[in-house]
Structure 1
Amino acid sequence: MERRQIYNLNVRGKRGNIVQVYPAVEYDFIPNDLEITSGSLVHMQWTGSNTHNNGNPGGDGQTGDAGEGKGGSDRSNIVQTRNAIENYPLPFDESTLFTNAKIHWMPNEYDGYLPEDLAISMASSGYYQCKAAATCAGQSVQNKNQVNNLLDNAPASNPGALIEPAVGEYHYISTRNNNFSNRSQKGKLMVKEK
């Protein structure tokens, strides 16, 4: 069996603006600038909460939980962008991060995962596992209610996926944690030829 280097791509930080989260940080990908060589694997995953509390007393920071979505909830997702300065996702047919990646593992061992399923799972924070009911039954876009645009009905945590990305440069964001009151949650993955 060939040995592979596995990199963990996760989320760190706390809900709120920079003053409210002090001495922690606002949501961020960790690492937010990941450089790997071809053949390496990336495990994209994160944890969150439905009971985050930035109430009184505020500790070192101020009270409050500025941000998107239901108060007290942490959510993240990953969608590809064209470059580091854009704040909206690429359409799936223009994206390459997931379409060119080889899927090594996803949390539910269904047969026939496609790159589109991976992109849907990452974009919905695991609310959907795939597009077609034939692939993953009750966890598909066809069989579940619509995911909330702020991910309020999505899981707080996501075991993610283990992928082998193709050589290239990829930029991505979390669509929920990306507005005027919070620093944009962005990341970059560079895959170089071995």
Structure 2
Amino acid sequence: MPFVAFTSRRKAEHVPCRLVVRRVKRLQPLASDGSTQGELFATYRHHAFITNSTLPVVEADQRHRDHALVEQVIAELKDGPLAHLPSGKYAANAAWVACAVIAFNIARATAVAASMRTARWATLRTRIINVPARIAATGRRLVLHLPTHWPWATDWKSLWSTATGPPAAATT
């Protein structure tokens, strides 16, 4: 659908573009218990964006969604380790960014191994990395005592069995 953005600005600053609206069927039940008025059309969710690219609609939507994933990663890094930048030294900043990206990638791999592939990085730090456990040494080995009613124990045990168990069979 043709669309002109920034029409409140001067004519030279108007941007002709397309408005793309993606309709997605809602899979989760509504959160409301029926006591309040909900959405009028709650069966579908609508995601809209504008673009001035000449790509077909499906490809433009894919590029927009890929860009949203990149923006999410940048936002999570800014919320975490990149909040400490800049330090005033280029080499220190470069090293810090490299370490932050490595830690982020390890955390994402950890999330997949713990069956939490859609969890954000802050959630992973809280539930998987910051483990409220007690370490005990017995018989020349370390034993990790997890809390009895820790809500993320199953995810953590799944991660532990993946990390310490035999490797998966290679497929060719």
Normalised TM-score (structure 2): 0.21
Of the two structures, which has the highest relative contact order with CA contacts closer than 8 Å and spacing of 6 or more?
1
Q: Which has the larger radius of gyration?
A: 2
Higher strand share: 1
Higher helix share: 2
